[in-house]
Amino acid sequence: MSKEEIKKIKIVKMVPDDVPMVFALEERVNPKHHWSKDSFYNELSNKLASYFSIKDEKKNILAYIGFWQIIEEAHVTNLAVDPDYRRNGFASILLLKTIEECYKNMVKFITLEVRESNTAAINLYEKFLFSSVGVRKNYYQDNGENALIMFTQNIWYDKFKNNFRNIKESINKAEYLYDE
């Protein structure tokens, strides 16, 4: 993807009309075991859930993220980037958007599960100051792989806020169109 094309991406709140395209992306990212269309429709009607996607200028969905907010904790349920558009910073942009939403909603902690073998995702989450706090044995249904449970410190602590600011500044310097 060229820099000019990247400048034209937008982060938008996911709506039901997006589900067929999100589902097609989900099938590409997780061909053996993926969420169903009904799962996405249910998530979009779930009052605890928030979903955002990155769209190009043609309105194609290149990546998406979802999370639940339960009182002062957010749980990332799903993050996927189209394999053809990886290494463009889209996962970081979506995590930044999630953290912004968490600040707006007075969330204190963010948690998620990630495959033990997914070192790229683990490295990304560690960049955002997630730490591994445990393991869910045989968590993934497709192959019985374990999941690392990752958690942030309180996102209102200075260390986290400064890290968030630094990552956001580095993304903005890369000239992404970073807004809805």
List the catalytic residues.
113, 125
17 residue type, one letter: D
Distance, in Å, from the CA atom of 168 to the CA atom of 162, rounded to the nearest integer, reads 10
Per-residue 3-state assignment (H helix, E strand, C coil) for the chain: CCHHHHHCCEEEECCHHHHHHHHHHHHHHCCCCCCCHHHHHHHHCCCCEEEEEEECCCCCEEEEEEEEEECCEEEEEEEEECHHHCCCCHHHHHHHHHHHHHHHCCCCEEEEEEECCCHHHHHHHHHCCEEEEEEECCCCCCCCCCEEEEEECCCCCHHHHHHHHHHHHHHHHCCCCCCC
Residue 100 CB neighbours (<10 A): 13
Two structure tokens written together for 32: 């053996």
